Amino acid sequence: MKTEPTAVLKLYIGIDIHKRSWKVHCSTDLFSGKSFSMEPSPDQLCEYVMKHYPDYEVITAYEAGCCGYKAHRCFVSYGWTSLVVNPADIHRKGKERYTKTDKIDAQLISRELKDGRLTSIVIPDKEREEFRSLFRRRNELVQHYRQIKSRLKMKLLFYGITIPKKYDNSNWSHDFRNWIDNLEFDYPTGKESFASLMRYFRFIDQEIREVSNKLRAYCRKHHKKDYDLLRSIPGIGPIVACGILSELGDLRRFNNLKHLAGYVGIAPRVHQSGANYKTLGMTPRAHRLIRSYFVEASWQAIRTDPVMHEYYRKHLGKDTKKIIIKVARKLLSRTLAVIKTEIPYQVGVIQ
């Protein structure tokens, strides 16, 4: 009598990915499988699977990290199901929380994958991935910009040089920069020290301008519709709009405000035990960069939008930090509404 398989054979591969090597654990629906190390090559893993598990449906998973999504895209091209997971989503039992090796990590990923407890993060397409890299480059430059300004002020303080009151603010005008250039020192080495810092400062300043211009031009060309909708919202300027489009992608993929607020991180932590219920501040699981941008945008929104200003004043008397988070959540709600309805925001209109 001829027999045929009654179920699809499945292979669950958990991978702990590193730059120089991968630790892989393969298990099936019947057997716990084996662990081994290999070179960081998707093609080599494919050859191994084709040789030892030719008739299996393959499901792979690895933690999101510095190695990006190239391996994921290769696995998908082989016809496999591939998940890139948040490391915090991998459940660890008892002593597993205190023992960590690459082998154990691969085994845990394979086990969680086999039990169906893992969900993949949203994988950006290559266009958004490269767009996002330019936006993040700008943020790196801004950090360097702040650092070099702090170093220059620290050096002025060290040498006992007092900054004139008209220049002592966060806005470094061209007059202030020229004032630093013209400082006199007893020896040429002191002047060269400041000259070197100022050359670096001007380079960073120019790079920020160049990258910002490239970001705005790209958005106007490739994401004009959503970019213009976002720009209609008070508080959301060109750079914040670029950040939303590059980091969050198409906001239409979010089902509701709760979904979006949870992703961005403008959502409370709660603790309930019986009749006791309390909030513990904002959730630590967040897109910290975009959350900070929305908080900063909220300060501008309450200055330019009467409705947002009134909402802020309604909560006066409470902790200012808590109030601005409320405003940020409201701003996030309006951002989602503007994108989903595709109707530009009208200042002063209750929406």
- Which of 58, 92, 114 finishes a domain? 114
CATH code of the domain covering residue 108: 3.30.420.40
Same domain for 70 and 35: yes
Residues 15 and 107 in one domain: yes
Q: What percent of the chain has pLDDT over 70?
A: 97
Average pLDDT over residues 327-343: 94
Q: Would you say residue 160 has pLDDT above 60?
A: yes
Domain limits for position 257: 246-341
What does DSSP assign to residue 56? P
Kindly state whether residues 81 and 59 are assigned to the same domain: yes
Count of residues in the chain: 351
C-alpha 237 chain-centroid distance: 19
Same domain membership, residue 94 and residue 138? no
Q: Give a yes or no: residue 347 inside a domain.
A: no
Question: Is the residue at 232 inside a domain?
Answer: no
Angstrom distances, CA of residue 21 to CA of 39, 72, 119, 258, 299: 5, 16, 24, 39, 47
Same domain for 178 and 207, yes or no, is yes
In this prediction, residue 168 carries a pLDDT of 87
Does residue 292 sit in the same domain as residue 315? Answer: yes
Where does the pLDDT of residue 163 fall: very low under 50, low under 70, confident under 90, or very high at 90 and above?
A: very high
- Spatial CA neighbour of 142 closest among 198, 195, 199, 211: 211
Mean pLDDT of 128-139: 96
Find the mean pLDDT for residues 109-130. Answer: 92
For residues 251 and 336, membership in a common domain is answered with yes
pLDDT of 222-278, one tens digit each? 999 999 999 999 999 999 999 999 999 999 999 999 999 999 998 887 777 777 777
For the chain, give the percent of residues with pLDDT over 90. Answer: 74
Q: Residue 179 domain-assigned?
A: yes
- What is the average pLDDT across 145-156? 95
Considering the domain architecture, whether residues 73 and 142 belong to the same structural domain is answered as no
Instruction: Work out the mean pLDDT of the chain and round it to a whole number.
Output: 91
Say if residue 210's pLDDT is above 80. Answer: yes
Residue at a domain's end among 222, 238, 263: 222
User: How would residue 349 be classed by pLDDT, with cut points 50, 70 and 90?
Assistant: low
- Flag whether pLDDT at 61 surpasses 70: yes
In single-letter form, the type of residue at position 301 comes to: A
The answer to whether residue 241 sits within a structural domain is no
Q: Is the pLDDT of residue 186 over 80?
A: yes
Q: Who wins on pLDDT, 101 or 280?
A: 101
* pLDDT reported for residue 319: 85
Does some domain include residue 20? Answer: yes
Q: Within a domain: residue 109?
A: yes
Helices (H), the chain: 42-52, 70-77, 102-114, 126-158, 174-181, 188-222, 224-231, 238-247, 257-264, 288-304, 306-314, 320-341
* 134 neighbors 214 (Cβ within 8 angstroms): yes
For position 322, what pLDDT does the model report? 87
How many domains is the chain partitioned into structurally? Answer: 3
Residue 31 lies in a domain: yes
Of the segments 192-201, 280-289, 309-318, which one has the largest average pLDDT value? Answer: 192-201
pLDDT of residue 1: 45
Q: Which residues of 93-115 are buried (b: 16+ CB within 10 A; e: fewer)?
A: eeeeeeeeebebbbbbbbbbbbe
Q: Are residues 192 and 253 in the same domain?
A: no
Q: Are residues 199 and 275 in the same domain?
A: no
Alpha carbons 84 and 63: distance in angstroms, whole number: 6
Contacts of 84 (CB under 8 A, 6+ apart): 61, 62, 63, 64, 69, 72, 120, 121, 123
* Domain end (from 187, 222, 257): 222
- pLDDT of amino acid 4: 56
Span 187-197, average pLDDT: 93
Q: Are residues 88 and 137 in the same domain?
A: no
What would the pLDDT profile of 40-49 be if each residue is shown by its tens digit?
Answer: 999 999 999 9
| Pair 86, 142 in one domain | no
- pTM as predicted: 0.88
Q: Residue 138: pLDDT above 80? A: yes
